[in-house]
Amino acid sequence: MYSTKQKSIIMEILKENKERLLSPDEILDILKLKDESCSKATLYRFLDNLALTKEVRKCYNQDTNRFEYQLAMGDCSRHLHLKCKKCGLVIHLDCHDTEEFLHHISEEHGFLIDNYESTIYGLCPKCR
């Protein structure tokens, strides 16, 4: 994996926005603001690579009908998050809480839980 200008700028942007989910178009807009550029193809390819290696989480946003990406912190295959409908802030839920809850549910329904990756919508403390 060669390191290139495009890749490092995309990573930079992801890091600067690690508390939010970014769509490819948002990333391109930020690139433009920085007077940098990168083709859509390269962006999509790199984001998909990062998702494959679990360096970013790739989530589908049902409201905008697009994928959004966010720098992964820790294990991201078992994951619940709260997303603020207003400001886009994403709060990652503590694994303890969710694991306990899911364990309970798993027992009750005889379900072997593999992975989860879910978003619960609402308003964050600031926006409510």
Residues that bind a copy of itself (CB under 8 A): 59-60, 62, 80, 82, 84-85, 91, 93, 97, 101-102, 104-106, 108-125, 128
> Which entry of a copy of itself, DNA, none binds 42, CB below 5 to 8 A by partner kind?
DNA
To a copy of itself, the closest distance from the beta carbon of 39 in angstroms equals: 22
What does the angle CA 74 – CA 80 – CA 81 come to, to the nearest 5 degrees?
95
- Beta bridge partners, 58, equal 69
User: Which partner from the list a copy of itself, DNA, none does 5 bind, CB cut-off 5 to 8 Å by kind?
Assistant: DNA
State the residues that interact with DNA by CB under 7 A: 1-7, 23-25, 37-42, 44-46, 48, 64-67
Angle at 121 between CA 88 and CA 75, to 5 degrees: 80
CA distance 10 to 71: 11
Tokens matching residue 79: 């994951």
